[in-house]
Structures are given as C-alpha cells and as structure tokens.
Amino acid sequence: MLPVTLTLNAGSSSLKFSLFDISGEPAQMAIGLVENIGGQPRLKANLGDRLARVERELPATEAADHTSALATVLALLRSSFPGAKASVVGHRVVHGGPHYTAPMVVTGQVMAELKRLSPFAPIHQPHNIAGIEAAQAAFPEALQVACFDTAFHRHHPKANDVFALPREYYDKGIRRYGFHGLSYEYVSEELKRTAPLIHAGRVVVAHLGNGASMCGILGGRSVASTMGFTALDGLPMGTRCGQVDPGVIFYMVQQEGRSIDEVRDIFYTKSGLLGLSGISNDMRVLESAGVPEANEAIDYFVFRIRRELGGLAAALGGLDALVFCGGIGENSRKIRRRICDGLDWIGLELDHDRNDSNTRVISTDFSRARIMVVPTNEEIVIARAAKRLSSGTEAAAG
C-alpha cells in the first residue's frame, strides 16, 4: 500500500483537498475542490499527470454538508488511487490562538481548544472544525493534524502583538495574530533552500490573492504582518476592506441604524476591490475593465501595498528582498510593476523584461534588494507537517 496523506481546507461552502504520496518527500498526486456545498455543488479535480481532469455538477445530496462532500471526494480518490492508504489527514485551521505555535495532532483537548477559539474567527473556524470532524468520521483510524494560519506569527515581538486597548483585552486574547502563515512558511522555506543569504536577512512577502496580506520576516521569523486580530485588517482584498478607522463602524451602527451583522457583511463581502470598483472582486476583470472605478480600486490596492512595504521595511530595519506570491502576486506583471516602480529609494529596481516573463528573480542585477516571485503551496506545508507528526507518533508508539 502506498502511504499517502490527504490535506483538507474547509471553507464556508467549499472543501479543497490534495493527496500527497508521503513515501519520500511529499509529492502531490491530486488536487481539487467541491464548491457550493449545501447549494448546487460542483466537483473540480486534477488527478495527476496520467489521469483526466474531472469537472462536474454533483447531485445536491452528494455535498449537502462537509461530511457528504468529503465522502464524495473520498469515493473519487479511492477509485482513482486504489493502492493508496491514508494514515494521516492534515487540516488547514485558521486560528490557533495565542498558544499553538506549531502544527498539532488533534486530540480531544486540542479539539476543545479549537472550538473555544471559534469566536475569534467565526467565519472560518467552525468550517475548519467541521472538516476535521468529517475526516474523523471517515478515517477513524487516521491521525488528524491541524496546521494553523496564525502559528508562523506567534513569535511577534510584544509591540507587534498588542493593540493599545485596556490591558485586560490582551489577556482575553485580543491580539494581532496575523494570518496566511502557511503561505509565509512555504515561501520562507523555499528561500532557505534556494537563497539562504536572503532567507537569513530582511524579507517582505506580499501574499496577494483574493485574500491579501504582507509579512515582514527576519531570519525566517515573522516580525510583523498586515493582518491583525482577524483576516480583515491590512490590505484591501477581493471583498474585504482591509484597514479602516473603527469609527466607521460606530457611524454605520449609530447614524445609519445598521445591525452589527450588516456591518460585518459589508466589511467582509461587499468591500475591497469589489466595493471600490462596484464591478468585481477579480483582479483580471478589473485590469481589463478600463473604466475609472476599476482603475481607482487598483490604485488603492497598489497604494496600500507600497505604504505597508515602507512600514514593514522599517519594522525589519531595512530590506533585502520583496517576494510576491498568491494569484495576483504570481501572475499580474502589471500590478507588480506598479508596486515596484519608483522604489529605488528603498533599494528595489525592477527588471521589466524579467517581470514580463514571470521569472523567479525579477529585479535587475544592480538592484540592492532582490525582487522575487515564489509561487506558494500551502498544501505541501500541511502535508510535510502531517508526515512529520505521524512519523513522530509512530516512533513514540514503537
């Protein structure tokens, strides 16, 4: 039997999955997702080189909730890879609270803690927990491993961990957690492997996707990030507002008479690129729209990234590299160019030809700091952790 690990990333109405061969360094065999769980679900999957791409509508009963969606995924994987045996399942979990600084085997105690943390990430954590419970039911023998988006940032210096609120709130867990940690960990490990001197230095990573954040990393450790208590802070995103003055909330509630749920909905789902443009949350659509509203949304996105870059470089005491990842960071040469142009004062000089050809290093040979594109891979970070923890458990049992 081929030892494999399944990685799961359960969202509100989606279940993303990957299958890795873990007989050696984890190698991806399949990737896919079920979307529109609870509605009119669709399955999309890519089952490796030799097998055809799968994309089809599912009967509503085959993905009515995360449990049935997982059963549908497993049926597909079992028929495609009959010789595979998953003894460990890795989960992306958005919130690990103040104490989880590394992936954890999910015990009853860990599960209780994840549930206790749900109010800190009410839009994501309950779905992550549903994913773990579905996997526990489907693989009662398997080890479940939780990998946290917050963990990479848990060594922030205190000044980057607090809000200037009354002290008791820090103890109640109101802290600057930071997110996208699995992506930052991947990029940082890639730098360690391919550019060790850069890894040892001062790096800002810009994870620019539908969700977007930036992180200042010093010698492989997160020092500061643009996301704070929730994944709402910092940069504008597809539909999330990023940083706003909290006074706006009071105004909407007290003067406009909106409920807190309405305000939350505006901040999470109607703002960002979508809200500003009034057109789309999708950068490709905005880039080709050619109308002032779309351009204004892009202008704001670029402006906030440049502003945060300055702040993070100050937090790091300088800059040795700026690294782009995420759907926009990896693909949009126009956005990268707009971010980097005129930043020679901070040591960044973009090579336009390299940028246009999407190579890994896109700065000139004379640029004091390097500009790079490193396609991220959060799933492999989860698969590596799952493998590591499962072999640790086997060793302990043996």
Q: Which residues are catalytic?
A: 149
Shortest-Cβ-distance residue relative to ligand ADP: 327
User: Which among 108, 101, 36 is positioned nearest to 72, based on CA atoms?
Assistant: 36
Q: Read off φ and ψ for residue 92, nearest 5 degrees.
A: -85, 125
Q: How far is the CB of 45 from ligand ADP (least distance, A)?
A: 16
Question: Residues interacting with ligand ADP, by CB under 6 A?
Answer: 209-211, 238, 282-284, 287, 326-328, 331-332
Token pair, residue 229, equals 């208590």
Q: How far is the CB of 389 from ligand ADP (least distance, A)?
A: 25
Q: Which residues share a beta bridge with 57?
A: 42
Contacts of residue 35, Cβ cutoff 8 Å, sequence gap at least 6 = 13, 14, 41, 42, 44
- Name residue, tokens 């500009």: 371
Tell me how crowded residue 66 is: count the other CB atoms within 10 A of its CB.
26
Q: How far is the CB of 280 from ligand ADP (least distance, A)?
A: 8
Residue 72 or 331: the one with the smaller Cβ distance to ligand ADP is: 331
Residue 142 or 305: the one with the smaller Cβ distance to ligand ADP is: 305
Classify the phi-psi angles of 37: left when phi > 0, otherwise alpha if psi is within -120 to 50, otherwise beta: beta
- Kindly report the CA angle at 274 between 268 and 277, in degrees rounded to 5? 145
Distances (CA, A) of 123 to 160, 247, 394: 24, 22, 35
Distances (CA, A) of 358 to 68, 337, 397: 40, 12, 47
Q: What is the arrangement of strands in the sheet containing 143-148, beginning at the earlier edge strand?
A: 53-57, 42-46, 27-35, 15-21, 2-10, 84-93, 143-148, 104-105
Q: How far is the CB of 219 from ligand ADP (least distance, A)?
A: 26
Q: How far is the CB of 326 from ligand ADP (least distance, A)?
A: 4
Contacts of residue 69, Cβ cutoff 8 Å, sequence gap at least 6 = 15, 34, 37, 41, 62, 63, 134
The answer to whether the beta carbons of residues 300 and 286 sit under 8 Å apart is no
Residue 113 or 185: the one with the smaller Cβ distance to ligand ADP is: 185
User: Which among 36, 52, 32 is positioned nearest to 44, based on CA atoms?
Assistant: 32
Residue 211 or 228: the one with the smaller Cβ distance to ligand ADP is: 211
Q: How far is the CB of 331 from ligand ADP (least distance, A)?
A: 3
